Chain A
């Protein structure tokens, strides 16, 4: 599996935007970029995914670099409930392939 690199931890103030970076320089043309997050004492949950174009949903936005070697998850207005570990994962998106989790970024929200 292609690897991703994320900062171990980040802090952000409540009600401000948060930009979580991810580097994936060895991404292949068939890899989709997935983001999951894990809240304390819960299972991981899907946040967003994309291939080439920027994506938006009710939880977040995903900005993908033109060369696809990096991406940024954007939380537009962080709340205390967004404190979690965020995982950036590359995955072949067809055929129910497994997810390979790295260490992720632990996001702390400061009230």
Chain B
């Protein structure tokens, strides 16, 4: 158990819909990262937040957005869903400035039909 909690674990929805994925980081971790893993793209970095502020941005589509709340949990919003958005979405958190080890959740599996 990494201590990072992601909900929901599985989600099935239709094209054009909008979903929200939630991540609770390990207690005290200030950084949250979102990754997308699809069969043909591997693990792709989407976005990082540190203590409520956006820290780094990767290949995140404009239809996707994220935020980190004052209690440090984060949400990834995916809108106007397309078939190609079907993937595993992982959240990770880190807190130690000396090691920077990332702790990953078990992921949210999104299926767009």
Give the B-binding residues of A (Cβ under 8 A). 36, 38, 42-46, 49, 87, 91, 93-104
Contact = CB atoms under 8 A, between A and B. Distances in A.
Interface of B: 2, 4, 30-31, 33, 35, 42-45, 48, 50, 55-56, 58, 90, 92, 94-95, 97-107
Contacts of A42: 106-107
Contacts, number: 62
Contacts of A97: 56, 100
A48 B102 CA distance: 11
A1 B92 CA distance: 20
Contacts of B44: 101
Given A43-B106, A43-B107, A93-B99, A99 B45 contact: yes
A43 B100 contact: no
A40 to B, nearest CB: 12
Contacts of A100: 45
A43 B33 contact: no
Nearest to B102: A99
B95 to A, nearest CB: 8
A97 B72 CA distance: 18
